[in-house]
Structure 1
Amino acid sequence: MSDHSGADGRASGRQRGPSEPPFLPTAWPRAVRPPGEEDWERSAVAFLLDCCPADFRGYALLRRHPVVLAQFAAQVVEAQVAASEEGLARARVSLRDEVEPPVVEEAVRIWREELVRLRAVRIGIGLVDDALRGTTFVPKM
């Protein structure tokens, strides 16, 4: 998947103790329970479906195979990132003759805000995908 290791680590032979909570990277989506906890995959599927167009909920295959769903979600969000980057790049020129300058600047601010959000979602999808494939996260030393 994409590079989202940052300050967090993945894959280790170290086993955690029975009472030790699993380590989660700081970018782990808040809506997704930690891997191994009850209903964690269900929460992962719900998060991934929320990243996709509503019509994707109608495909049973995507609900039954979270790793497939993660790939769909990654593609959708990647396209949204690209579209938002393009929208930001064009906003000032395409809107300057249509609306007042403060409105243009607010539109630019919204594009930037949306890009930050989408990039965080993209990282979260990658982490969830890794966990669905069995990756264990460990803090970097």
Structure 2
Amino acid sequence: MFDQRRSGRGAAPRVPGAPPGWPPGVLPPAAPDFEASAVAWLLDQAPPEYRAYPAARRHPVLLVWLVAHHVDAQAEAVRRAVATARVDLSDVLPVEMAPRVFELLEREDLRLRRVRRAVALLQEALHGRRYVPRL
């Protein structure tokens, strides 16, 4: 039902009852402390200032919405960085750094894709949608 391809890094252990890409450390939706574990993980993905907003901590649906926007903005920043890196950095970094710059940006893009996938799964779960494994 849900497909996720992972990068070469080690895959996080699967959470029983949760789809591939489920965030590590977050309990499945049927668990009693699911929302608390989801909020803790979401706060780790958000800017530190979000911890000071009681409404975001008390309303996981609001927090997941905010974090989704934050992660999307980060991904857009990486895309812009890829598009402008050569011009922006050509005068300040040696040419041999270019492969490292693009490797860093590619890794960050992959990380953000995994985070966005996990956020989307939490968003679905917080809206009551349940994962049903398929063959």
TM class by shorter chain equals 0.7 to 0.9
Whether 1:43 and 2:37 are equivalent positions in the alignment is yes
Contact 1:31/1:43, CA 8 A, preserved across alignment: yes
Distance 2:58 2:41 in 1: 14
Contact 1:7/1:140, CA 8 A, preserved across alignment: no
Matches within 5 A, 1:50-129: 50-129=44-123
Distance 2:38 2:111 in 1: 18
Contact 2:2/2:20, CA 8 A, preserved across alignment: no
Deviates more, 1:25-34 or 1:111-120: 25-34
TM-score by length of 2: 0.85
Q: Based on CA coordinates, which of the two structures has the bigger radius of gyration?
A: 1
Contact 1:62/1:69, CA 8 A, preserved across alignment: yes
Structure number with greater CO (CA < 8 Å, separation at least 6) is 1
Q: Give the residue type in structure 1 aligned to 2:66.
A: F
User: Secondary structure at the residue paired with 1:89?
Assistant: helix
Q: Which segments of 5 or more consecutive residues in structure 2 lack a partner in the other structure? A: 5-14
Deviations 1:93-114 (A, max 9, x none): 2112211122222111111100
Distance 2:94 2:32 in 1: 52
Report how far residue 25 of structure 1 moved: 1.1
Distance 1:92 1:118 in 2: 22
Distance 2:20 2:33 in 1: 20
Deviations 1:2-21 (A, max 9, x none): xxx6438xxxxxxxxxxxx9
Structure with the largest fraction of strand: 1
TM-score by length of 1: 0.81
Other-structure match for 2:7: none
Report how far residue 22 of structure 1 moved: 5.1
Name the count of aligned residue pairs.
125
User: Secondary structure at the residue paired with 1:127?
Assistant: helix
Deviations 1:89-139 (A, max 9, x none): 111221122111222221111111000000110110010011111111012
CA RMSD, Structure 1 to Structure 2 (Å): 1.7
Identical amino acids, percent of aligned pairs: 38
Structure 1 residues 28 and 101: alpha-carbon distance in aligned structure 2, compared to 1, 3 A threshold: same
